[in-house]
Chain A
């Protein structure tokens, strides 16, 4: 059983690295995006092998959703030729290689050189629940204060970035019916 897990681990690891390399090798925006998705999904399944089921499945979920949306943006923002033709996936090669190599050396060197602590005690039975209590238990006050601040930040960001709010749609007294929309229909239409 443990040999089987080892095999699956290495296969998934190889797949993650190979498809990550393919992101820069392929000549299509769609293929590059979904090669990246395959890489992330392989990593998600590796997290499953670490018995972190929630984190693993959520990684698969988030990455698939993210890449499906990202493909749209990649195609949309790719200049005059909207990425429908074959194109190179790399630019500024030399600088990029230098930055990538430096980052790899720093991170890899750090991982090898840092004196890792040895485990004290044993892990609790329900690791995720214990982690949740450790994070939320003593720091509940901080979490409660931060949550509204974060929500307010998100809402404020959307309001500032919004091109058209309800006053643009329905006038200064919010009484214009039907609202002035670029495309008619939807909620609020009479």
Chain B
């Protein structure tokens, strides 16, 4: 089943550039929604992220007293790296950078790497509020990660494969989202979680003076914020082969459908995140383990029964 072909590693810069374009688009959309909520028009939304980038690039770096710079920088820049490594196993239509046979597990490993990076970004500053933010993220992560893992399990059970291309190819005309809606919702909650977006912004909240971001300035802050949006985009892009039928669609070629579906899901996640209240980590832990985890397990059971009996 040659669903996808692995292209040469020389295409990696193009994939990174595409990720960058989506991050820019997501930031512009978020800015337009902010402008709309303040009664202003969306004018200038497309250029505003670039203004922000220019401003941060010219800003002087703040360095705190006896900061652990190595860990701090690794943590801040790591989110972007993790997002790119997620994209590496996500097929664009028929092409993929790496046709890894355990692509789903790879994606999962990268979203766990975010645990380490956010905590390091909080720890490295040697400052109270970022430290509290880092710990808050780990508490949130304990709440969303296990449901996310079991939501990621459903499509591979149905496709009998952990290969992302095979999962996309196994869907045919019935997309996975149709009969795995619970897994899809739990997955999207997980994506918001590892992007620290919307209701999962407690590690960056204003009650702890910006948390992990409190001491970040200039290019370091740019990397962290771009990394968060890149994780959101990578999570949305990965949902396309997993739940949204991959490149399937009328008229347009597969790559165009993949990009279009990704764009719609990114916009939906950006919008949904803005509508959520900020979740308290201890509260999310209870909801995650008592509601989301059993729901995801039941979804897996249904998928497993169908996969065994129908085939």
Contacts and interface: CB of A to CB of B under 8 A. Distances in A.
B287 A54 contact: no
Contact of B287 (A30, A65, A187): A187
Nearest to B74: A34
Contact of B68 (A28, A53, A68, A187): A28
Interface string A51-85: 00110011011001101110110000000000010
Given A183-B282, A186-B282, A61 B112 contact: yes
Contact of B106 (A31, A57, A65, A67): A57
B167 to A, nearest CB: 15
B301 interface: no
A65 B119 CA distance: 12
Contacts of A57: 100, 102, 105-106, 109
A54 B116 CA distance: 21
B35 interface: no
Interface in B16-56: none
A3 B260 CA distance: 42
A47 to B, nearest CB: 12
B283 A185 contact: yes
A81 to B, nearest CB: 14
A185 B126 CA distance: 31
Contact of B116 (A37, A58, A186): A37
Interface in A123-160: none
* Interface residue SS majority, chain B: helix
B259 to A, nearest CB: 27
B125 to A, nearest CB: 12
Nearest to B287: A187
Contact of A68 (B71, B119, B285): B119
Interface string B118-138: 011001101000000001001
Contacts of B290: 187
A65 B135 CA distance: 14
Contact of A60 (B109, B124, B282): B109
A69 to B, nearest CB: 7
B102 A64 contact: no
Contacts of A30: 68, 71, 120, 123-124
Contact of A34 (B71, B126, B145, B287): B71
Interface string A93-134: 000000000000000000000000000000000000000000
A54 B68 contact: no
A46 to B, nearest CB: 15
Interface string B273-309: 0000000101101110011000000000000000000
A48 to B, nearest CB: 9
Contacts of B119: 68, 71-72
Contact of B109 (A28, A61, A84, A186): A61
B115 interface: yes
Contact of B280 (A28, A61, A69, A185): A185
Nearest to B105: A57
A179 to B, nearest CB: 11
A185 B68 CA distance: 36
B101 interface: yes
Given A183-B282, A186-B287, A61 B120 contact: no
8 contacts: A28-B68, A54-B105, A57-B102, A57-B106, A64-B115, A64-B116, A68-B141, A186-B282
Given A68-B138, A186-B283, 5 more contacts: A30-B120, A37-B116, A61-B109, A68-B119, A185-B280
Interface of B: 68, 70-71, 100-102, 105-106, 108-109, 112-113, 115-116, 119-120, 123-124, 126, 135, 138, 141, 145, 162, 280, 282-283, 285-287, 290-291
